């Protein structure tokens, strides 16, 4: 290619100038740089680098997955430790206090072993024929008042128990809803505990009602038993009077007629 170029250029120049041009070309040729490059490809090294990069990416992905699992575990632990925002304890305690106060207002014979022993001895087991009619009547009046008061107390307590039903229903609905929507084990356990507390309070209401009804029934039965003893004492009083003795009675001022 270079030779052809030289011939073309020599064609257009005069013969006297060929040497000068040739000389110039001789000095110009070494100025052009010539490089020799060889591309070497190591396939085994490339494969090794790719495998190392893949393993590194896999390790990073595993670490990210582990961190995500640990974060989720912490979130779950936080949910399990979260407390239930609903509490019915104060309402249950208030209801129990009202029932207890109503039992403490028992008329005449209170729910006390000492009171029962003392007053029962005075009004129910001390009836005897040696008592006067006024004393027998007084004791009979006391026993009647005890029976009436016992039935009244039982009715009051029954009204209290029935009045607790709407509030119990509302509390049960709230607790069941809270248990079903709980975010963790602690909230579910607390909702279950409050449901058990509600059932315990309802059982205490039933126990109190049974006690009040039993008290009223026992007072009435004791009154009936004392009435039999009172009837026997009154009969003794009647039988001790002197027999009837007939006598002469004058009427309209007549004598013997």
Cα(207)–Cα(200) distance, integer angstroms: 10
pLDDT per residue rounded down to tens, the chain (257 residues): 545 444 544 444 455 444 444 444 444 445 555 555 566 667 788 888 888 999 999 999 999 998 888 888 888 888 777 888 888 889 999 999 999 999 999 988 888 888 888 888 888 888 877 788 888 888 899 999 999 999 999 999 999 999 999 999 999 999 999 888 888 888 989 999 999 999 999 999 999 999 999 999 999 999 998 888 888 887 777 776 655 566 676 655 555 44
pLDDT of residue 122: 85
Contact, 109 vs 119, CB < 8 A? Answer: yes
Distances (CA, A) of 175 to 1, 46, 57, 91, 232: 101, 66, 50, 13, 61
pLDDT of residue 152: 95
pLDDT of residue 204: 93
Could you tell me how many residues make up the chain? 257
pLDDT of residue 247: 65
Cα(190)–Cα(152) distance, integer angstroms: 39
Contact, 174 vs 193, CB < 8 A? Answer: no
pLDDT of residue 132: 85
pLDDT of residue 245: 60
pLDDT of residue 210: 94
Nearest to 84 by CA among 8, 180, 152, 167: 180
Tokens of 110: 């209170």
Q: What are the extents of the domains in the chain?
A: 2-28, 89-239
Nearest to 99 by CA among 221, 218, 200, 217: 200
């Amino acid at each position: 290619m270079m030779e052809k170029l030289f011939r073309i250029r020599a064609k257009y120049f005069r013969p006297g100038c060929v040497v000068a041009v040739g000389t110039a070309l001789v000095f110009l040729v070494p100025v052009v740089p010539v490089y020799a490059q060889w591309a070497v490809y190591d396939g085994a090294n490339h494969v090794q680098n790719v495998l190392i990069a893949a393993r590194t990416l896999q390790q990073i992905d595993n670490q990210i997955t582990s961190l995500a699992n640990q974060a989720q575990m912490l979130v779950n632990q936080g949910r399990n430790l979260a407390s239930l925002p609903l509490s019915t304890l104060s309402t249950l305690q208030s209801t129990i206090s009202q029932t207890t106060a109503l039992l403490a207002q028992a008329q005449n014979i209170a729910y006390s072993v000492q009171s029962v022993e003392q007053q029962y001895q005075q009004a129910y087991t001390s009836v005897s024929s040696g008592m006067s009619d006024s004393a027998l009547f007084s004791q009979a009046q006391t026993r009647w008042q005890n029976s009436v008061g016992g039935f009244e107390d039982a009715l009051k307590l029954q009204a209290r128990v029935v009045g607790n039903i709407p509030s119990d229903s509302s509390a049960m609905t709230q607790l069941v809803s809270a248990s079903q929507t709980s975010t963790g084990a602690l909230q579910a356990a607390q909702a279950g505990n409050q449901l058990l507390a509600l059932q315990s309070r309802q059982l205490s209401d039933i126990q109190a009602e049974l006690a009040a009804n039993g008290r009223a029934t026992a007072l009435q039965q004791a009154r009936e038993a004392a009435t039999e003893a009172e009837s026997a004492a009154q009969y003794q009083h009647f039988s001790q009077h002197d027999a009837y003795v007939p006598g002469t009675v004058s009427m309209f001022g007549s004598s013997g007629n």
